[in-house]
């Protein structure tokens, strides 16, 4: 089975927790971390094998919600997991869900298990019944 590509464009404080949560997918996914939406846009323009984008609702001071709408319009098959923080309004979240711009929403703070559940769902992997040792509490 070919590896699925997951692009991650989030604030720096989320890269470590996300990489920890994605450890169980080693060998199944190829993960690439990007610093801003400009880099993400360039990578998306050059690739056709991207399965999922993990996107923070705000990077620096910019909102990424309009960017999410733009990339979904360009690549409707792309699945977007949006990580929202307190700065995102309830109305914006409802609008994105109803318009099917995003395939899932994670609210900060989130657990590694919540992140991996979305990766299973968005990448189409079958979830094992046994919990990996590093996710056990």
- Domains annotated on the chain, with CATH: 4-132 (3.40.50.2300)
Percentage of residues in the chain with pLDDT exceeding 90? 50
pLDDT at 132: 67
pLDDT at 96: 81
Distance (Å, whole) CA 58 – CA 70 = 15
Specify the pTM.
0.87
CA–chain centroid gap for 15, Å, is 11
H or E, element range at 39: helix 37-46
């Amino acid at each position: 089975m070919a590896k699925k590509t997951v692009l991650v464009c989030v604030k720096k404080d989320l890269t470590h927790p996300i990489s920890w949560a994605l450890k169980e997918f080693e060998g199944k996914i190829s993960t690439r971390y990007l610093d801003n939406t400009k880099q993400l846009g360039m990578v998306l323009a050059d690739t056709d094998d991207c399965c999922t984008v993990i996107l923070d609702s705000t990077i620096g001071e910019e909102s990424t919600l309009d960017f999410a709408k733009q990339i979904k319009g360009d690549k409707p098959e792309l699945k977007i997991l949006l990580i929202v923080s307190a700065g995102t309004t309830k109305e914006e979240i409802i609008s994105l869900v109803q318009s099917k711009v995003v395939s899932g929403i994670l609210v900060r703070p989130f657990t590694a298990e919540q992140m991996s559940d979305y990766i299973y769902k968005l990448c189409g992997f079958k979830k094992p019944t046994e919990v990996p040792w590093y996710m056990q509490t």
